[in-house]
Amino acid sequence: MNIHYVDEGSKNKNTVLLLHGEPTWGYLYRNFIDQLVNNGLRVVVPDLPGFGKSDKLSQREGYTYEKYVSWMDTWLNKLDLNNITIFGQDWGGLIGLRLVVNNLNRFDNIVMSNTGLPTGKTPLGEAFESWKNYSQTVENFHIGGVVKGGSVSEMSQETIDAYNSPFPDDSYKEAARQFPLLVPDSVDNPSYEHNVQAWEVLKQWDKPFLCAFSDKDHIFKGVENSFIKYVPGAKNLKHIEIKDAGHFLQEDKPDECVNAILTLF
């Protein structure tokens, strides 16, 4: 599985790993990179398999939560990244937190944004169920349209086209269709036990764990409270609510997201 990534800044610096989620790709972080590099940081932005410029499978059943963790774990160790501050949004958190748990010594800081680590023990809410149903039934899965719909700010046609560009037809969208089905929304999900185990590790994490959630994301609203309650590293930090931003707060408020990351340096 070939994983495309952008790697900017000095290799001798602290590394910021930016992980996107559904149904975007590394383009989501285009407004982060220069700002972080100009602050003396190395910035690494991968495209998850099935998205962006990374390899895509022809059969959606080939995508599983555990395969994503394995693929990204292999990639992370191949690059031998260390002193990492991870910023994860949406599936970037579901996968990213599992990477942290598997590679504790590689990570220094965690920033989670509009994401969670569900175990299936509690309902994920009507907004997620509506999205899950939409993703499976809509005839034209319009990637750029989804990003626009999950953002508060205006979005140019050029930006919408850029989000669509790695997905020229439906055969390229198998991962985007499959992702919503992989979320552990019941204890019958095959990743249920893995996420329960990951939570047990996170309950011992005492390095900085910052929440930077937006005020207008209906899917993950309130999920940050679990992190703040159970993760020791989140206890004494001033968590950030990013105002006037939707699910894709990287589009709505990139500067505020970057500033949240920089509070840890």
Q: Is the pLDDT of residue 14 over 90?
A: yes
Question: Does the active-site annotation cover 90?
Answer: yes
The CATH architecture to which 5-262 belongs is 3-Layer(aba) Sandwich (3.40)
CB 240 within 8 A of CB 260: yes
3 state DSSP class of 209: strand
> Annotated catalytic residue: which of 20, 47, 185, 217?
217
> What's the burial of 18, exposed, middle or buried (CB within 10 Å: 0-12/13-18/19+)?
buried
Catalytic residue, candidates 20, 47, 185, 247: 247
Q: What is the mean pLDDT of residues 143-165?
A: 98
Report whether 112 contacts 249 (CB < 8 A).
no
Angle CA(126)–CA(131)–CA(132) in degrees, nearest 5? 95
170 in catalytic set:
no
**pLDDT score recorded for residue 144:** 98
Is 55 among the catalytic positions?
A: no
Lowest-confidence pick of 24-33, 68-77, 119-128: 119-128
Q: What is the DSSP string of 9-64?
A: S-TTS-EEEEE--TT--GGGGTTTHHHHHHTT-EEEEEPPTTSTTS---SSGGG--
What mean pLDDT is reported for the chain?
97
pTM: 0.98
CB 207 within 8 A of CB 110: yes
Please tell me the predicted confidence (pLDDT) of residue 170: 93
Q: In the structure, what pLDDT confidence band is assigned to residue 74 with cuts at 50, 70 and 90?
A: very high
Sign of CA dihedral 190, 196, 199, 204: negative
pLDDT, tens digit, for every residue of 196-205? 999 999 999 9
- pLDDT score, position 139: 92
In the set 47, 90, 185, 252, the catalytic residue is 90
